Structure 1
Amino acid sequence: MDRRLAAILSADVVGYSRLMGVDESGTFERLKACRRELVDSAIEDHHGRIIKLMGDGALVEFASVVDAVQCATEIQRKMPSRDQGVSEEQRIRFRIGINLGDIIVEGDDIYGDGVNIAARLQGIAEPGGIFISGTAFDHVAHKVDVGFSALGEHRLKNIADPVRVYRVLLGPGHTGTVVISSRARSRGVALLALAGLLIVASAAVVAWQWPHKQRASIAVLPFANLSDQTQDYFADGITDNLITDLTRLSKLDVISQNSVFAYKDKPHLLADIRRDLGVRFVVEGSVQRMGDLMRVNAQLVDTVSGDHLWANRFDRSGADVFAVQDSMSRQIADALGLELTPSEAERIARPPTANLEAYDYYLRAEQAARTGRRSRMLEALALYDKAEELDNGFAEAFASDAHATAFVWRSAYDDVLQSALARKRAYDKASRALALDPELPSPYAVLAIMQVVDRRYDQAIASAQKAVSLGPADAEAHMAAAYVQSVTGNHADATAAVDKALRFDPNPSAVDRYTAGIVFYLQRDYERAIDSFKRAGYGSQGNGEFVTPLAMAYVRVGRIDEARATVAEAQRLMGGRDCLASWRLGNAHFRGQDLAFMLDALREAGLPEWPFGFQGDEQNRLQGAEIAATVMGKLLQGKTEPSESPALMQVQLDGKAAFRSASQMMTEKISIKGNLLCEQSENAFGRADCGPVYRHVNLAGETSYAYVNSTKVFYFSPAQ
């Protein structure tokens, strides 16, 4: 037995027995012609699969509920033009019901409530009409050129739970509308009256909870792009900016972009969204660009009742995009009963830029940056540059640029932008954004992360606090605060900040899950750390850098075998590059005892001290003076692990140096610290990367050396 989610269309001929009784052969021939000339072709055009044909009806399966409704709409709109020479009483008319639900597949047939609900909806539809279920409506609203009338919940025969029912409105004047029927309204009034009685009866009990209960929670799902694929970025931009506007309302909790974009181009159910995102309300819609014109459809849905509290269609010029976004935000706030303060109204009404070309580049940059991929990050930074060149007062562009650049810097994407350049760019862009708009929380969050890595702890704490005060519903601000508090040893505060961030971003990025994992680990909440690290590492296409920390959490709960297997998997993903030395260097801004708490567990899990599992012979290790005599003022020629590709290091007597290999070329400063050789460059957050040097004499009596640090194993021989 196989199960799957499918859209089911059930169609039936109205009064079939009566028609056959009046004119059996004529009815049969006209029905055959109708199927041949209209029904079958419509089903084929919309990718349907006919499950069965009965004498008076059909059962059809579709992979897409949009296709199912479009097919039904085409049939019902064309039916009135048929049978023109036949009396009204003898005309063939269909009733159609559509449901999206779970079905049981057995051979070529299908069964289950998913099918039964479609059949029951067909049975209560009016002649020539289409009734669809609430689950179907949730996926199809504003994605086809029809309107809908909400009929409230119905009890259907042999179906356990009530089903939300919607009538499809076929007239051209109804396109994009959602009408609340008198039946649904009266039911809502009755429920409100009952709710009022219950509130009065229980007011004394719940009075202390009232401020919390008053806060509305909402998710803006990615708006569907009804234009060609090249316009995806524009639809995403409408979504992003609506989220940004709603986040500015003090009485509204808004789910972040990161979590809602997990639903992009994927089917969803209101119940799933309510459970996964913890929201009461959902905004969804569609965007279509037609030359200089655009059409934006949007609706506000209650995830508990399924009722549509608001819906509207905006047919405007593309130049009016900001006015449309302003109108949507205000109308949604009004539908939720929220009264905007003067500052909130002014903030929402303020366009981010007057230059539409700059705005277009900005939206394209945002789409590229959202992927987090190296190649797209390079594209994003170039697009931000173009937006900023066209409008040097575009604060949001500078803020997003800073965020993307800080991600490149923190992820050590040196092939996108070298560390020192990324660091400077992120600081510059964040500072420019705040000079233009001091009320933006994002630049402060960026500064907080960079300052704490630079060990400017007091400044980092101040920046994090400012980000949270300006963006109390901003997940990025809370996660930045969590990281800063964790680095500075305030683990309880860090955990509280993570919990707040997860409230607004239940499905965070891999790097934020990694941050949460570190916070939970240092707070000794190992089960939550394990869950966060698993989601970070294995939910990010196997990013080995996020897989390794899972091992240290396993060690703390005694799962040593799993810890060692995790390290082995991370090493496989990273080609053996990860090591204790890289963890020590990359996390040197943490408190000493916290860093030791991480390193000790990773050591027990089997993470090697040096990359590629290098182990030197301590008897042949050089002392400081020997290292200086071997390296300073010399050209070091050799090869690097693991590819054994040729490499050169030219070191001057004053320590200025250049290193070049097949994959790397950089200038740096060489120094001797104790018995270690240290490289300091724009990489590794500008920190000195130190390691030992070993002598090796082969059977022919020839002497060579090996230098190892957190990132390289360099076998070399010196020349003058």
Structure 2
Amino acid sequence: MRIRLLGGLEVTSPELRKVRFTTRKTSLLFAALVLGGRRGYRREQLSEAFWPGRSNGQARNSLRQALVDIRRSFPAGKNATVYIDGDQETVALVTGPDDVDISIFDLKLDGGRSTDLAFAADLYRGEVLAGDTIPDGFDEWFRPHQSKYQRKAQQLVERLSLALSGPGSSEETACEGLAERLLASDPTMEAAHRALMRIHALRGHDNAVLRQFESCRALLKKHLRAEPEAQTAFLAASLRSREETEYQRSAPGLDLVSQPQAPLVPTKHYDRASVAVLPFQNLSGDTEQDYFADGIVEDIVIALAHFRHLYVIARNSSFAYKGHAVDIKQIGRELDVRYVVEGSVRRTGDRLRIAGQLIDTSTGAHLWADRFDGTLADVFDLQDQVASSIVGAITPKVEEAEIERAKRKPTESLDAYDYYLRGLAAFDRTITVRSTIDDALGLFMKAIDRDPEFAMAHARAARCYATRKSNGWMIDRAQEIAEATRLARKAVELGRDDAIALSYGGYVLGYVGGDLDDSAACIDRALALNPNLAAALGVSSWVKTCLGEPDKAVEHAALAMRLSPFDPRLFAWQFNTGLAHFCAGRYDDAVAWAGKSLRHQPNYPSAMRVVAAGHALAGRFAEAREMIARLCDFDPALRLSNLADILPPFRRPDDRTRYMEALRKAGLPE
């Protein structure tokens, strides 16, 4: 291994010398090229980003000099595994599978065996480029990767701690070390606290488990003013219950002193059949087709969610297990579901095969398995057959009307569907990288060009404009607001019976178009059509806050998070909860929830504003000013005078006035 990114950049040459590049920017350029992989970047993109303010010729020359510096340490040659590749337009850094720590980390994580997980745990010495100062303007290059690998490390410490079979193993040591490193960087990381609690329990140190829990609770209260998650509380509650049971067995004649009650944990949602659809394997032999297999699952999840007697986990949470060999019973516990669907997709030319199986998570028994063959033209019929078969295996009685509604085709055009899936894959990666959102918008517009009646493509395109507005990226505001509103209205017109189109189209009508009544009507209809749709509940929490119903907003956001606990857009629902608490006058709760949002998405300006406003009205002016400074670093053009351009359209005048006054007190410039 010659290149380390986890815990800080360390580079070793083929001659095993420690490499020190001439300038700091060359080091960052090298790191960016490593993260970019074989796809690389356009030279113009790199020169503009790394040498802004210079003329095009000067910036290109600086890029050439930096690449020469890198080539000195990694010259191309017959046996070279690390070298610069490219042409006049693009440049990439080619590396071998064993040359970069993050590549090995991903490989071991995908391996899934406890020994592989332990190896990955030892590799994780800290977040990507930890300890290296990232200059202003470079967030979009490195922050997504830092967030991505921090999430992977959290999932890893959870998985490894659940896989431990006994004390004293090397896996236990690796898990403990990873948990301690994670807590050193973020003392409120509950996955790491839970891992240490499980290790203490495995060693028989029951008191240490409870001390770890109390430490976790104290740190959360201090830093976030929040209580532990239900899963953390459940561990402590289980141990207390076990201790009390053992004490009762050993001294049945004694009257027990009343013990403090453990925190309440959610009850199982088995009043309705509950199911999660895991990512389907792509058996096409082409990793570029992953987006197609993922899109198949997306549509099956949406079809299943239409059945009111099913409790369906959102696709974004079940996809947290993509590429991992995880025990089905463990998934059942973590997602709180009775059933899991696994499957595969094979696409060869215009031929398509979808295979699936339904598993009972409590027993591991296979309840149903089948495969469905057809052509690409049959893709929607095949999805319908899979969904109906799953429902039929879970329960014999399904309302015929709901079956028919679940079988609606989103589009007749396979080209449009392909562009839509590509756009969805791009949009799901981030909301804070402008170029990615622009790419997603372009793909959705291509889908619309192929099928002007494609409701979901209109809704997703409109959603891209809403992201542009919230991040302050709009250039011609009047034109972009008009286009976003047009797309949103077309989405809800074409998708009157499509919950996704109504959810996102309705949200854009409210946030970008300012029409709260139409927004609420569309979102309410989406929930009437599909009460299990986490995305609809998430945007409903936002519109309820805007309408002056903060308690209902908190309730809807909580249900969205329950339906999709690992959703990449969990930060948006946490922000909605914080905003609702702010409007209700609960400023400490507002700061806590918006702070949680920032832990998942550090560059989310909406959450920064709520944290600053909450601190200001709670009288914590130093913390408020600190957050405003961070916000202004991210968006230097933001002022009280243009704040209205990005604020939600609050129905109650007091909510808007109080919010703006709070940000003024926090120090936002006039």
Q: What TM-score bracket applies, with the shorter chain setting the length?
A: 0.5 to 0.7
Alignment of 1:188-587 (within 5 A): 213-226=270-283, 227-266=285-324, 268=326, 270=328, 273-274=331-332, 276-337=334-395, 339-371=397-429, 372=431, 373-414=433-474, 418-453=476-511, 454-506=513-565, 507=567, 508-526=569-587, 528-556=589-617, 559-574=620-635, 576-587=636-647
With over 3 angstroms needed to count, the CA separation of the structure-2 counterparts of 1:568 and 1:280, relative to structure 1, is farther
Task: Output aligned runs, 1:161-176, within 5 Å.
Answer: none
3-state DSSP of counterpart to 2:412: coil
Q: Which amino acid aligns with 2:564?
A: D
Query: CA offset at residue 332 of structure 1?
Result: 1.0
Q: Distance in 2 between matches of 1:550 and 1:528?
A: 10
Task: Give 1:102's aligned residue.
Answer: 164
For residues 562 and 341 of structure 1, the distance between their equivalents in structure 2, rounded to whole angstroms, comes to 54
Task: Report if the CA contact (8 A) 1:365-1:381 is conserved.
Answer: yes
1:324 maps to amino acid:
L
1:206-228 CA-to-partner distances (Å, cap 9, x unmatched) read xxxx9975312222232233432
2:669 aligned residue (600, 609, 618): 609
Does the aligned pair in 1 maintain the 2:460–2:504 contact within 8 Å? Answer: no
- Confirm or deny that 1:63 pairs with 2:123: no
Coordinate RMSD, CA, aligned: 3.9
Letter in 2 for 1:469: A
When structure 1 is superposed on structure 2, of 324-333 and 272-281 the one drifting more is: 272-281
Give the alignment's TM-score, normalised by structure 2.
Answer: 0.56
Are the counterparts in 2 of residues 544 and 570 from structure 1 also a CA contact under 8 Å?
A: yes
Superposed, 1:62-141 pairs within 5 Å as 63=108, 101-102=163-164, 110=170
Q: Is the contact made by 1:326 and 1:349 (CA closer than 8 Å) also made in structure 2?
A: yes
CA distance in 2, matches of 1:554, 1:305: 49
Give the AA of the match of 1:499.
Answer: A
Deviation at 1:582, TM superposition (A): 4.0
**Is the Cα–Cα contact under 8 Å of residues 412 and 419 in structure 1 kept in the other structure?**
no
Q: Taking structure 1 as reference, are residues 404 and 308 closer, same or farther at Cα in structure 2, changes over 3 Å only? A: farther
Structure 1 residues 428 and 603, CA, compared in 2 at 3 Å: closer, same or farther? closer
Provide closer, same or farther for how the CA distance between residues 547 and 112 of structure 1 changes in structure 2, counting only shifts above 3 A.
closer
Matched position secondary structure for 1:63? helix
- For 1:205, the equivalent position in structure 2 comes to none
Q: Which residue of 1 aligns with 2:187?
A: none
CA distance in 1, matches of 2:518, 2:408: 30
CA 544–356 in structure 1, closer or farther in 2 if over 3 Å, else same = closer
What is the 5 A alignment of 1:6-17? none
Moved more, 236-245 or 321-330: 321-330
Give 1:143's aligned residue.
Answer: none
Q: Does the CA-based 8 Å contact 1:220-1:284 persist in structure 2?
A: yes
Equivalent residue for 1:135? none
**CA positional deviation for 1:246:** 0.8
Q: Distance in 1 between matches of 2:493 and 2:109?
A: 48
- 2:509·2:518 contact (CA, 8 Å) conserved in 1? yes
User: Structure 2 regions of 5+ residues with no counterpart?
Assistant: 1-96, 99-106, 117-160, 175-201, 205-266
CA distance in 2, matches of 1:461, 1:350: 24
1:520 touches 1:528 (CA, 8 Å); kept in 2?
yes
In 1, the alpha carbon distance for the partners of 2:591 and 2:331 equals: 25
Q: Secondary structure at the match of 1:486?
A: helix
Counterpart CA distance in 2 for 1:230 and 1:427 is 33
CA distance in 2 between partners of 1:366 and 1:240 (Å)? 10
| Residue identity matched to 1:484 | V
Q: TM-score w.r.t. structure 1 length?
A: 0.52
1:295 and 1:314 in contact (8 A); partners too: yes
Sequence identity of aligned pairs in percent? 31
Give the letter for the 1:63 counterpart: K
DSSP-derived class of the 2:411 partner: coil
Query: What is the rounded CA distance, in whole Å, between the counterparts of 2:466 and 2:396 in structure 1?
Result: 35
Q: Unaligned stretches of 5+ in structure 1?
A: 1-45, 48-61, 72-98, 115-157, 161-209, 611-720
Partner Cα distance (1:534, 1:361) in 2: 36
Distance 1:267 1:553 in 2: 42
Q: CA deviation at 1:561?
A: 4.0
- Answer 1 or 2: which has greater helix percent: 2
Alignment partner, residue 36 of structure 2: none
| 1:500 alignment partner, SS class | helix
Q: What is the DSSP-based 3-state SS (H/G/I as helix, E as strand, rest coil) of the residue aligned with 2:428?
A: helix
Offset, 1:68: 7.1
Q: Cα offset for 1:331?
A: 1.4
CA distance 1:262–1:411, shift in 2 (3 Å): farther
Report the AA paired with residue 339 of structure 2: F
* Contact persistence 1:545–1:578 (CA under 8 A): no
Distance 1:255 1:67 in 2: 23
Q: Which residue is equivalent to 1:94?
A: none
Paired with 1:392 and 1:406, the residues of 2 have a C-alpha distance of 21
Cα separation, 1, equivalents of 2:612 and 2:330 = 32
CA deviations 1:383-434 (Å, max 9, x no partner) are: 223322323333333333333343334444326xx43333333332333334
Matches of 2:268 and 2:606 in 1, distance apart?
42
Post-superposition shift, 1:242?
A: 0.8
Is contact 1:218–1:253 with CA below 8 Å preserved after alignment?
yes
Paired letter, 1:224 = Q
Bigger radius of gyration, 1 or 2? 1
Q: Residues 493-550 of structure 1, C-alpha deviation per residue, up to 9 Å, x if partnerless?
A: 3223323333333333433432222012222444543343123223224334432322
Distance 1:352 1:429, change over 3 A: same
| Letter matched to residue 480 of structure 2 | A
Query: Equivalents in 2 of 1:527, 1:348: separation in Å?
Result: 43
Shift in Å, 1:241: 0.6
